[in-house]
Structures are given as C-alpha cells and as structure tokens.
C-alpha cells in the first residue's frame, strides 16, 4: 500500500509538471504570455465551475476506486464517463465490493485497461476523423451523441437500483426533486451545477441508508 501511494504521488507530481511545464516552456521560448488580467479572469471562471466538481469527485470516487485506481484515474481523466463505469461493472462481475483490497485491485486493473482502450480508440479516431466527419457531424445523430452519458448512467443505475431497491428510494427521489427544482424553479442549467449537487446527494444517500438500517427497514442482507 505504501508503494502504491509513493508511486501515485510521484506520478501526479510528474504529470502536473508536464501539463504546466509545456505551455510555460512554449511561452518562454517564443516570449508570448497572456495578459495577467485576462489569465486571472479565465482561471477564476474555470475554477468556479471545476473546483467544486473536482472536490466532489475526490470524495465520491476515491472510496469506489481505491488508492491505485484513484491515482491512475485522476491522472488519465475521463472519470465520470469511463473510469467509474468500468470499475463498477468490473467489481460487480468479479463479485467483490468497493472498499476492500480485492475491490481495489479489480478497480485498478479495470481503470488501467480502460485507459489503454481509450488510447487505442483515440488513435483510430484520429486516423478516421476526416472520413467519418460527415457522419459524426450529421444532425440526425446529434441527439444520440448528446445523450450518451444519460444512457450510460441510466443503464448502470437501473442495474444497481434493481439489486438494492430499498437503498435507491431516497437517492432517486432526491435526484428527481433537485433536478426539477434547478431546471424549472431556479431556471439554471443542470449540468453547470452538477458538481455541487454530487456531494449533497451523496450525503443524502448515506444518511438515509443509515437511518433505514437503524430502524430495521434495511437489513444486512439488503446491502450485500
């Protein structure tokens, strides 16, 4: 476990240096720097959106992925739409639970394989982007591309809701109510504040599960 944290921390530091260092080297070499005011304005606007999402993802996804899978997933990215579904399905098929050593190993393997598959798909897509451009930009297929994530998580949600129906009641109702409140009452773009809603719904799910367990409505066999 100590070796995993050591390697993970070094990998994160190395990737951070590469991501920040590349534009810095280019700016220094060509003596081209963005205006400080414009840079700070753009940075703050992005931070207001992505910082809450990053914090929520850390507290939500690390217990699922374990240490090795978390380091690898946060370095390679695509957590919500690729790494988490891959890890969850892999653990379910292997019959292991998140938060265990077995679950951490399976999650790490699934994240690594999904990363390699992503690289292969991106490489093929790079070669085929021009021949497939008319098809990919077709207005007929636009609704399908816009609903890839809802379809993916809808399928995953239906699978786990059917296995843990009692646990799913409060989180599902809370999600529907919050979505209706945000969209129809507050008139906000739901995707723009999803990073704030993730920890809220996480707390609601945990508290409701503990309450139902204490009053005896949910038993140990319901969550295994």
| Dist CA 142 CA 136 (whole Å) | 8
Q: Where are the domains of the chain?
A: 164-224
According to the 3-state scheme, what is the secondary structure of 77-115? CCHHHHHHHHHHHHHHHHCCCCCCHHHHHHHHHHHHHHH
> In the predicted model, what is the mean pLDDT of residues 104-108?
91
Answer yes or no: are the C-beta atoms of 109 and 90 closer than 8 Å: yes
Name the CA dihedral angle for 132, 137, 140, 145, rounded to a multiple of 10 degrees. 90
| Dist CA 72 CA 66 (whole Å) | 10
pLDDT value of residue 107: 92
Residue 222 confidence (pLDDT) above 60: no
| Dist CA 2 CA 127 (whole Å) | 41
Q: What residue has token string 């957590």?
A: 79
| Dist CA 122 CA 116 (whole Å) | 10
pLDDT tens digit string along 27-66? 899 988 888 888 888 888 788 777 877 887 888 888 888 8
pLDDT tens digit string along 92-105? 888 888 888 889 89
pLDDT tens digit string along 72-95? 898 888 887 788 888 988 998 888
What is the value of pTM for the model shown? Answer: 0.65
């Amino acid at each position: 476990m100590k070796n995993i944290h050591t390697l993970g921390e070094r990998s994160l530091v190395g990737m951070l240096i590469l991501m920040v260092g590349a534009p810095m080297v280019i700016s220094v070499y060509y003596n081209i720097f963005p205006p400080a005011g414009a840079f700070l304005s753009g940075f703050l606007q992005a931070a207001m959106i992505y910082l809450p999402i990053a914090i929520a993802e850390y507290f939500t996804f690390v217990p699922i992925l374990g240490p090795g899978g978390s380091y690898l997933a946060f370095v390679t990215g695509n957590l919500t739409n690729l790494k988490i579904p891959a890890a969850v399905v892999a653990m379910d098929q292997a019959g292991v639970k998140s938060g265990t050593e077995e679950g951490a190993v399976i999650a790490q393997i699934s994240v690594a394989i999904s990363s390699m598959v992503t690289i292969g798909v991106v490489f093929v897509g790079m070669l085929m982007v021009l021949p497939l451009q008319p098809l990919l930009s077709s207005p007929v297929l636009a609704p399908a591309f816009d609903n890839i994530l809802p379809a993916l998580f809808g399928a995953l949600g239906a699978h786990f809701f059917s296995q843990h129906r009692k646990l799913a009641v409060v989180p599902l109702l809370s999600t529907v109510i919050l979505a209706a409140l945000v969209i129809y009452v507050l008139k906000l773009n739901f995707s723009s504040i999803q990073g704030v809603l993730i920890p809220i719904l996480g707390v609601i799910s945990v508290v409701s599960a503990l309450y139902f367990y204490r009053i005896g409505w949910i038993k140990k066999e319901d969550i295994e």
